[in-house]
Structure 1
Amino acid sequence: MKRLAILGVSVLLTACNPSTQETSTTGSLENFDAQHLTRMGLSVKAVKPSPIDGLAEVITQQGLLYVSLDGKQLMSGHIYDISGQEPVSLSDLALNAMRAADLDSISESVIEFKAPREKHVVYVFTDNTCGYCRQLHERMDEYLALGITVRYLAWPRTGLQGDGARQLRQVWCAEDQQAALTAAKQDQPVSSARCEDPVNQHFALGQKFGVRGTPAIVFESGKMLPGYVHPERLIVELEND
């Protein structure tokens, strides 16, 4: 069986003194208490049973967490089903379902490069200052020729207050968004038009999806591939998804 490596799993527990070492995990989703998550600045979007008894599967604006049913213990990491021939990340399946459902909320605010003979659609979180984003964009004709429609979302790597965010707002407010995005990725000037742009919404969605850098490619199934992916490799990934 393929070797399973689980890296970067962290467990955060509320502080306890020696007299309270045993912490109850009893409870149910009906009386799930989100007050501690709220105090930490987390906004709960959905709560479901997790694959492990005693834990709830909680979707927040920062992604997927596992929380005890009494709301007092929190774990960040992946749960794997290891009963089959290969380990399966149940956490990835939950995240994929969340992403696929949320893609509908931004379908009208993307910048789309549509394949003439569309076979697949991918959503790409992009930043025009990112070298690998530029490399992906330079190969746009190859993606389109393979039947891959690309729908861009804005994800400024330096946050919502930097020059990257300002430039992305200008792109999304341009009369010709495709031409403006191409120009921005080539360090050409873009008009400084203003509008009700979706940059904040896209950035928040990327955080929820677990985007940590650009480009980040999301399939319609919700599967996410971080980083630049060559067109020939991407079509294989899509066909096998």
Structure 2
Amino acid sequence: MKLTMKNSLLSLLVVGLMACSPQGDAQDAKTPATDIDTTHLERMGFSIEQISPSSVDGLYEVITNEGLIYVADGGKKLVSGRIYDITGAQPENLSEQRLQAMRLNDLEQVKDSVIEFTAPDEEHVIWVFTDPTCGYCRQLHENRANYLAEGITIRYLGWPRTGLQGTAFNQLQQVWCAADPATAMTAVKQDQPVRSGACDDPVAEHFALGKKFGVRGTPAIVLESGRLLPGLLPPQKLLEEIEK
């Protein structure tokens, strides 16, 4: 990956800091993570989940409901961008590594609420944020047999593009509350009616998770590595991405 002028100035500043500070030095930061003042972030609307030292001395990574951000100066300064280790042959995106671990951890917490189409000879699992009104989501689902034939199990999470209102949101709630959610998912993506009663559906939780992960549209696919892929990929192309 090449860094260009399109990268933010903050990102480049963090890259420069990274070149001067080995990863192990982060533990020598003067302010313990437990002493970071979170009131400023909370005032901005962030919900704080975890704070830990980053790989840059004095800079802390903060996992929030909006994803990964960084703070410095005891929580008084917010830094937005990515940290790269530039000591190797190619820049290494340390922030993306942290995001991938975060995604996998969060997905593990919701694995019992997905709608799964299991490959007979499963070799890989993908997590797909889906919207029944999305044409590309429908294409992926119509072609699901070919993904399954490649050994790729599909786990669906609901992600209505219009937010927690409107047709897609209502349809996803009905799908998850149906007696057979997998059959209901197929029906709704074929414009067939799905009727079900109200239930404690996970759609709002899935939607919040997608926002945290950086989902901006559907389908959005999370690989076993935690890498997030936007958009539709044919089965063979997806398999190539998985096996990179």
TM-score by length of 1: 0.89
Distance (whole Å) between structure 2 residues aligned to residue 113 and residue 184 of structure 1: 16
Structure 2 unaligned segments of length 5 or more: list them.
11-28
The CA deviation string for residues 162-185 of structure 1, in whole angstroms up to 9 with x for no partner, is 221111000001111111111111
1:52 equivalent in structure 2: 56
Structure 1 unaligned segments of length 5 or more: list them.
12-24
1:97 equivalent in structure 2: 101
Number of paired residues? 226
Q: Tell me if structure 2 keeps the 8 A contact 1:10–1:75.
A: no
Q: CA deviation at 1:3?
A: 2.7
AA aligned to 1:183 is A
2:217 equivalent in structure 1: 213
Q: Tell me if structure 1 keeps the 8 A contact 2:179–2:196.
A: no
The CA deviation string for residues 99-137 of structure 1, in whole angstroms up to 9 with x for no partner, is 111111111100000000000001000001111111111
Distance (whole Å) between structure 2 residues aligned to residue 120 and residue 157 of structure 1: 26
Runs of 4 or more, structure 1, over 2 Å off, are 2-11, 25-28
For the structure 1 residues 10 and 208, does the alpha-carbon distance in structure 2 shift closer, same or farther, using more than 3 Å as the test? farther
The CA deviation string for residues 200-238 of structure 1, in whole angstroms up to 9 with x for no partner, is 111111111111111111122211111111110111111
AA aligned to 1:122 is I
Distance (whole Å) between structure 2 residues aligned to residue 8 and residue 207 of structure 1: 22
AA aligned to 2:179 is E
AA aligned to 2:218 is T
* Aligned counterpart for 1:227 among listed residues 231, 236, 241: 231
2:92 equivalent in structure 1: 88
Aligned-residue identity in percent: 57
1:169 equivalent in structure 2: 173
The CA deviation string for residues 52-87 of structure 1, in whole angstroms up to 9 with x for no partner, is 112100000000001114111112211111111111
Q: Tell me if structure 2 keeps the 8 A contact 1:9–1:78.
A: no
Q: Tell me if structure 2 keeps the 8 A contact 1:180–1:190.
A: yes
Distance (whole Å) between structure 2 residues aligned to residue 29 and residue 84 of structure 1: 29
Considering fraction of residues, name the structure with more helix.
2
* Aligned counterpart for 2:115 among listed residues 111, 115, 118: 111
AA aligned to 1:96 is Q
* Aligned counterpart for 1:74 among listed residues 69, 74, 78: 78
User: What SS does the corresponding residue of 2:113 show, helix, strand or coil?
Assistant: coil
2:2 equivalent in structure 1: 3
User: What SS does the corresponding residue of 2:34 show, helix, strand or coil?
Assistant: helix
User: What SS does the corresponding residue of 2:116 show, helix, strand or coil?
Assistant: strand
Q: Tell me if structure 2 keeps the 8 A contact 1:125–1:215.
A: yes
TM-score by length of 2: 0.88
Structure 2 residue 190 is matched with structure 1 residue 186: yes
